């Protein structure tokens, strides 16, 4: 059944009256949105919209939100409790949800400065704008008026860096025993969250702009718009510091959605759309069949179906049957918003492209925080191969993690009928912060050309570990190890290394329960171990085969065993010729960028300064050119800042 698209003419940026949604003949929640001009919308066929409504409602049904049990309001606890209450509202918990959404914040600074309405933490104010503009018609008139007046007070001056009487000087904090790093006003002399990551910055700036626009505080509105414009210019020039994060790209998405949905100024909405289009294209390359590919920064172990950013983008891109068992609550922002990604981005996420193809990308540093105009040069160089049934991406420095940034430098996704895609990850340490997905001893170095890759590690006593599904058939043939997945075959030619089989300790730690009494984190996966000899750079050469390239698994094994060449004749270097003739060479250089050779030519990293590029790449965007182009599924999309 195709849904009837509901169009509602409203004045954008003012409170919408009544329920902003209706239910269709199947009892599904369908949000109504204004009829936007062409430059503010991405056209979707009716069947795509039907799929979107089906998926968002599947998540709504799967959300086990109990009436009144939404969470608390301490600092940024509204990160979960406000979306939970909105979900509860859509599930029919009207009395309980509206009571919670209109409750007074418990922080003294909210009570005394902004009338009990919390406008400080970034995650809180992301939802405050949607609560006010989209659900405001359901709030009590007195509370709605109080919320608007509190916003007027909050934006009377630019809240970012506005002196706050709740701030405590460092020496006084030490005297009071207030140790550590806090993010409340006591620690930061501001009326709003000062954190500057991509996602938190977006949450802050959209709220300041929208509420200043709503309350007529034009100087504050102009200050916020200046910062938004500067961020957008840096984004289109050199990219996101939290590039392709499996854990945070979804938060960047949901942070900019309110600016698109509720700004009165058409040019501001066009700016919001440009940023959302960029984020959606970035996601379309890493999202595949419900899972998230690599590389990416700030990886918290977001592995498998619906995990992390894949959860929110699933509602746009599908490719996997069924909602998550416990949907992440932020789907409500996606469900309620009128934004849809460009059609070419959807086709890219569906891999309606000529395959196989390689995408080369350059990424900025995490610590630069994007000065106006973007960074001077890239910090990371990414190679991603999109095959017929698999996707593999890597960084030359592997999981070389800037402190605390959880950089994942390699992931391989392989088509799976059961869970959309199986995830395979190599790592080199059993010590990690959030997950084995970025665990490293600091010595990982990688060279990649399409479906062929060489991974070396020079650290003394190094081991390598492979996270892979239990369903995979592993053939341990001495110097070679073959992994047979459903429609993807992986060959490892070992370099000064020996396979030690299933590593019980690593499996227990990576795949087992995170806390006593919990279910295993990855019950369908396990970890294999590889011990390096230490007699020089050790690791493996990896090659992927598919039915389209080798016919069947047996033929692939024969080709690898009979045609490949491993050249260790030059000290400190490893060169591998694959079964179909591709050549990859790798020379580790300590902490420096390794030397990588592709078909005999040394890679010149200075020639790799495109945000996205490569011969035949479906996405093209130069370094500081400011124009994004996507071609997929017979569709083309181009974007630049208004």
pLDDT digits (tens, 9 = 90+) for 61-94: 999 999 999 999 999 999 999 999 999 999 999 9
Please name the residues in contact with 174: beta carbons below 8 A apart, sequence gap of 6 or more: none
Helix, strand, or coil here: 564?
Answer: coil
pLDDT tens, residue by residue, 111-125: 999 999 999 999 999
Q: What percent of the chain has pLDDT over 90?
A: 94
As a three-state string, the secondary structure of 443-480 is: CEEEEEECCEEEEEECCCCCEEEEEEECCCEEEEECCE
The two three-digit tokens of residue 446, written as one number: 């990688």
Question: Does the structure show a pLDDT above 50 at 5?
Answer: no
Rounded mean pLDDT of 513-537?
Answer: 96
pLDDT digits 0-9 by tens, 550-593? 999 999 999 999 999 999 999 999 999 999 999 999 999 998 99
Residue 3 has pLDDT above 50, yes or no: no
Distance CA 591, CA 445 (A): 9
Tell me: pLDDT of 529 over 60.
yes
The residue among 544, 584, 603, 586 whose CA lies nearest residue 445 is 586
Tokens of 549: 């390239």
pLDDT of residue 15: 86
Beta strands at 480-484 and 489-495: parallel, antiparallel or unpaired: antiparallel
Nearest in space to 112 (alpha carbons), one of 206, 177, 185, 194 = 185
Sequence-distant (≥ 6) Cβ neighbours of residue 352 within 8 angstroms: 632, 633, 634
| Mean of pLDDT values over 432-459 | 96
Q: 216-220, 316-320, 513-517 — which is least confidently predicted?
A: 513-517
Average pLDDT estimate for 608-623: 98
Mean pLDDT of 38-44: 96
pLDDT at 346 over 50: yes
Q: Find residue 565's DSSP bridge partners.
A: 577
Q: Which residues contact 230 (CB under 8 A, 6 or more apart)?
A: 372
CB-count burial class (<10 Å; 0-12, 13-18, 19+) for 609: middle
Please write the tens of the pLDDT for every residue from 7-32: 332 334 578 788 999 999 999 999 99
* CA dist., res. 604 & res. 382, Å (int): 13
CA 136 to chain CA centroid, nearest Å: 30
Identify the pLDDT of residue 6: 34
Token representation of residue 182 = 């806090």
Say whether pLDDT at 438 is over 50: yes
Structure tokens at 54: 């089906």
Q: What is the pLDDT of residue 13?
A: 57
Average pLDDT, the chain: 95
pLDDT at position 486, please? Answer: 98
Distance separating alpha carbons of residues 462 and 458, to the nearest angstrom:
7
Q: What pLDDT is stored for residue 402 in this prediction?
A: 73
Relative to beta strand 291-292, strand 601-602 is unpaired
Q: Looking at residue 451, what is its pLDDT? A: 98
Q: Work out the angle at residue 613's Cα, subtended by the Cα atoms of residues 607 and 618, and round it to the nearest 5 degrees.
A: 165
CA-CA distance, 425 to 59, in Å (whole number)?
Answer: 28
Q: What is the pLDDT of residue 453?
A: 98
Query: What is the pLDDT, as a whole number, of residue 370?
Result: 62
Q: What is the pTM of this model?
A: 0.96
The CA-atom distances, in angstroms, between 29 and each of 90, 324, 433 are 7, 18, 39
Q: Is the pLDDT of residue 401 over 90?
A: no
Per DSSP, the three-state class of 491 is strand
Q: List all residues 6 or more positions away from 205 whose beta carbon is below 8 Å from its beta carbon.
A: 224, 227, 228, 231, 259
Widest distance between CA atoms in the chain: 80
Q: Among the residues of 343-477, which ranges form H helices? A: 343-349
Region for 581 from its dihedrals, namely left if φ exceeds 0, alpha if ψ lies in -120 to 50, beta otherwise: left
> What angle in degrees, to the nearest 10, is found between the helix axes of 249-262 and 266-286?
160
């Amino acid at each position: 059944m195709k849904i009837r698209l509901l169009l509602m003419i409203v004045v954008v940026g003012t409170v919408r009256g009544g329920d902003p949604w209706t239910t269709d003949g199947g009892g599904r929640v369908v949000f109504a949105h204004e009829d936007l001009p062409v430059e503010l919308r991405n056209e979707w066929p009716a069947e795509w919209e039907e799929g979107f409504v089906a998926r968002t409602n599947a998540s709504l049904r799967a959300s086990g939100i109990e009436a009144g049990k939404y969470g608390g309001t301490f600092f940024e606890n509204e990160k979960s409790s406000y979306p939970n209450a909105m979900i509860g509202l859509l599930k029919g918990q009207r009395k309980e949800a509206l009571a919670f959404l209109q409750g007074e914040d418990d922080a003294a600074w909210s009570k005394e400065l902004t009338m009990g309405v919390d406008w400080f933490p970034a995650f809180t104010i992301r939802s405050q704008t949607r609560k006010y503009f989209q659900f405001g018609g359901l709030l009590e008139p007195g509370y709605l008026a109080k919320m608007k007046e509190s916003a007027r007070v909050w934006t009377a001056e630019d809240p970012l860096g506005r002196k706050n009487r709740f701030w405590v000087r460092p020496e006084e904090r030490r005297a009071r025993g207030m140790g550590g790093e806090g993010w409340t006003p006591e620690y930061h002399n501001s009326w709003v969250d000062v954190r500057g990551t991509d996602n938190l910055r977006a949450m802050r700036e959209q709220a300041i702009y929208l509420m200043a626009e709503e309350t007529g505080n034009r100087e504050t509105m102009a200050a916020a718009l200046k910062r938004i414009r500067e961020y957008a210019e840096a984004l289109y020039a050199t990219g996101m510091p939290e590039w392709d994060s499996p854990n945070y790209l979804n938060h960047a998405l949901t942070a900019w959605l309110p600016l698109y949905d509720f700004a009165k100024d058409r040019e501001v909405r066009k700016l919001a759309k440009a940023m959302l289009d960029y984020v959606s294209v970035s996601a379309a390359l890493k999202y595949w069949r419900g899972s998230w590919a690599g590389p990416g920064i700030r990886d918290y172990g977001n592995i498998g179906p619906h995990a992390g950013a894949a959860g929110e983008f699933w509602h746009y891109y599908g490719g996997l049957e069924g909602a998550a068992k416990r949907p992440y609550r932020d789907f409500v922002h996606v469900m309620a918003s009128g934004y849809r990604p460009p059609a070419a981005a959807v086709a890219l996420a569906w891999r309606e492209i000529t395959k196989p193809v390689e995408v080369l990308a350059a990424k900025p540093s995490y610590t630069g925080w994007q000065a106006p105009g973007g960074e001077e040069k890239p910090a990371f160089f990414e190679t991603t191969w999109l095959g017929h049934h698999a996707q593999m991406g890597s960084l030359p420095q592997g999981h070389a993690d800037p402190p605390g940034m959880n950089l994942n430098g390699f992931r391989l996704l392989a088509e799976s009928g059961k869970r959309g895609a199986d995830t395979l990850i190599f790592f080199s340490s059993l010590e990690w912060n959030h997950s084995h997905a970025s665990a490293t001893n600091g010595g990982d170095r990688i060279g990649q050309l399409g479906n062929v890759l060489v991974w070396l590690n020079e650290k003394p006593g190094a081991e390598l570990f492979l996270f892979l599904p239990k369903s995979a058939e592993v053939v341990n043939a001495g110097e070679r190890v073959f992994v047979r997945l459903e429609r993807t075959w992986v060959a490892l030619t070992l370099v000064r290394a020996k396979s030690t089989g299933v590593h019980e300790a690593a499996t227990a730690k990576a795949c087992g329960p995170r806390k006593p009494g919990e279910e295993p984190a990855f019950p369908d996966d396990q970890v294999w171990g590889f011990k390096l000899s230490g007699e020089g750079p050790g690791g493996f050469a990896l090659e992927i085969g598919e039915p389209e390239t080798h016919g069947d698994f047996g033929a692939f094994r024969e080709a690898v065993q009979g045609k490949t060449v491993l050249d260790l004749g030059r000290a400190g270097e490893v060169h591998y010729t694959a079964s179909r003739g591709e050549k990859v060479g790798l020379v580790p250089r300590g902490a420096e960028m390794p030397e990588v050779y592709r078909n005999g030519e040394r890679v010149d990293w200075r020639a790799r300064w495109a945000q996205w590029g490569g011969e035949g790449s479906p996405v093209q965007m130069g370094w500081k050119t400011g124009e994004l182009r996507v071609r997929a599924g017979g569709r083309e999309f181009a974007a630049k800042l208004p």
